[in-house]
Amino acid sequence: MNAFDSAALGQPHAGLRPFLAQLPDSFWMPSQASSVASEVDTVFFVIYWISAFFFAIIVGLMVLFAVRYRRRREGESVAKTAHHSVALEVTWTAIPVIVSAILFVVGFKGYMNLVTPPRNSYEISVTGQKWQWFFTYPNGYVTSELHVPVDRPVNLTMTSEDVLHSLWIPAFRVKKDLVPGRYTRAWFEATEPGTYPLLCTEYCGTGHSDMLSVVTVHESGRFDTWLEQAANLYDTMPPAEAGEMLVQRKGCVQCHSLTGAAGIGPTFVDMYGHSFATKEGTQIVADDNYIRESIVDPMASIIAGYEPVMPTFAGKIKDSEITYIIAYLKSVSSLGGTDEDEAAAADGEGTETEEASTEEVH
């Protein structure tokens, strides 16, 4: 299993955490995997080497002057130096102006290229919220991992549900802020099939370091096939198994534990069917209707002891997917028996009663 296989299973942060300190593709930069990456790197290295050149000159002259014009003995007279040189002043003014103008032209050209997506771009909507990414494709399919075709421009229309986030794909040299109440755009054209890190670079709260995902670049002709299969994936699985995958991919486990331990939100273990006190002092039962309400309108009934921090998933999740999540919560609860199980148990009790009555008669 490679570093990104765990991400494909719904836990992107597990495989990506080692990449935060130093991306492994090279000492200086990650691999160039988009059409604009080389242009961005060119501007960076031009500025870098110009800075290194002038740094060497300035430090070298400082050392030379410190040695050449140091005071050697008491009472030594100060060496005569030039006080004015028109040629020198014109030179050290003209050279920085020319260099700055060149950098401006190259940088402005690159900037305009980065903010102007091609007209034939594939459109994907991006929503950031604490602490998860949601990528919505034209067919309505939503996932927490970005999938794109190779050699085709992709335009991301992005917004935030809560606070400032910033989407960064190092290998594509793409970084853009997501602002609540506004839409921002970023585009890229991936040139190499593979899997690449995607992360948030704007501190957005305690879960910021876990707001990690991946970009999967599909080979030519395979993206449409993947999208069609992925959109119908959950319908081909047992409901509880599909629900388990959904709570992983939707980021539910960042706040709701699967071990019974307390978290930002109530644990999923033994939640279904149990009674809880709300902040308003009422009692609620975590049944099918309550779970659905908590997903689409989480502020309606908040369990006592927890803060109202859960974002709404309305519009980001289908009704069928909610049904699968409910099935999963039933499977990890001691009171999660299905209606069929209850009916079978009732039938069993009735049979035992009839048998006992028959024995008494005989």
Among 232, 251, 276, where does a domain finish?
Answer: 232
Q: What is the pTM assigned to this prediction?
A: 0.63
- Mark whether 50 and 162 lie in a shared domain: yes
Domain with residue 183: its CATH number is: 2.60.40.420
Among 209, 232, 255, the domain boundary falls at: 232
On whether both 227 and 257 belong to a single domain, the answer is no
For residue 131, is the peptide bond before it cis, meaning its omega torsion is within 30 degrees of 0? yes
Residue 113: HSE in the Cβ half-sphere, 13 Å Cα cutoff: 17
- Domain identity same for 291 and 219: no
Q: Is residue 357 part of a domain?
A: no
101, 209: one domain: yes
237 phi, psi to nearest 5 deg: -110, 160
What is residue 277's predicted lDDT score, i.e. its pLDDT? 87
Domain with 295 in it: what CATH number? 1.10.760.10
Q: How far is CA 137 from the centre of its chain?
A: 16
Please check whether residues 190 and 270 belong to one and the same domain. no
Predicted pLDDT of residue 7: 36
Please check whether residues 210 and 266 belong to one and the same domain: no
Give the pLDDT confidence score for residue 79 in this predicted structure. Answer: 66
Strand order in the sheet with 194-200: 146-149, 212-218, 194-200, 165-169, 174-178
Say whether both 169 and 310 belong to one domain: no
Number of domains in the chain: 2
218/273 same-domain check: no
CB within 8 Å of 87: residues ≥ 6 apart: none
Cα separation of 186 and 39, whole Å? 16
Full residue range of the structural domain in which residue 161 is found: 1-64+85-232
Q: State whether 132 and 258 are in the same domain.
A: no
pLDDT in tens, the chain (362 residues): 333 333 333 334 434 433 443 445 566 788 888 988 888 888 888 889 989 999 999 999 999 988 887 777 777 676 676 677 888 889 889 998 999 998 898 889 888 888 888 888 999 999 998 888 989 998 888 888 899 999 999 999 999 988 999 999 999 999 999 999 999 999 999 999 999 999 999 998 888 888 889 999 999 889 988 888 777 777 777 888 888 888 877 778 778 888 888 778 888 888 888 888 888 888 888 888 888 888 888 888 888 888 888 888 887 788 888 888 888 888 888 876 654 443 343 344 444 434 444 444 33
Would residue 352 count as lying in a domain? Answer: no
Quick one: 301 and 183 in the same domain? no
Name the packing angle between helices 239-249 and 319-331 (round to 10°). 100
